[in-house]
């Protein structure tokens, strides 16, 4: 399968970071709904044996969204 140019550029940048003296590399992926963020992050996590964190895992459930909780800073997490 041919990878798009942007994906090759991304992988080149990751390789550059891997070859640096950094102990930890953090990559954040942002985008519109249904843009492919989860697919891209899953692909990268598998290819680089990386830890993957989804922000959705940190949102409050409907039952947890009490008036007191929603009044706090960071109300949805």
48: its two tokens = 């680089």
pLDDT tens-digit series, residues 33-60: 899 999 999 999 999 999 999 887 777 8
Given a cut of 80, is residue 1 above it in pLDDT? Answer: no
Given a cut of 70, is residue 77 above it in pLDDT? Answer: no
Given a cut of 80, is residue 74 above it in pLDDT? Answer: no
Q: How far apart are CA 37 and CA 31, in angstroms?
A: 7
Q: Which residues make Cβ contacts (< 8 Å) with residue 55, sequence separation at least 6?
A: none
Mean pLDDT of the chain: 88
**Domain-by-domain residue ranges, the chain?**
5-70
Q: Which residues make Cβ contacts (< 8 Å) with residue 53, sequence separation at least 6?
A: none
Count Cα neighbours of 31 within 13 Å in the Cβ-side half-sphere.
11
Q: Give me the phi and psi of 8, to 5 degrees please.
A: -65, -40
- pLDDT value at position 57? 79
pTM of the model: 0.69
């Amino acid at each position: 399968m041919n990878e798009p140019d942007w994906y090759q550029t991304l992988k080149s940048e990751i390789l550059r970071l891997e070859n640096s003296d950094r102990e930890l590399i953090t990559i954040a992926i942002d985008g519109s709904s249904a843009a492919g963020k989860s697919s891209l992050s899953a692909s990268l996590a598998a290819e680089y044996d990386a830890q993957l964190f989804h922000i959705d895992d940190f949102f409050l459930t409907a039952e947890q969204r009490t008036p007191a909780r929603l009044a706090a800073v960071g109300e949805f997490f």
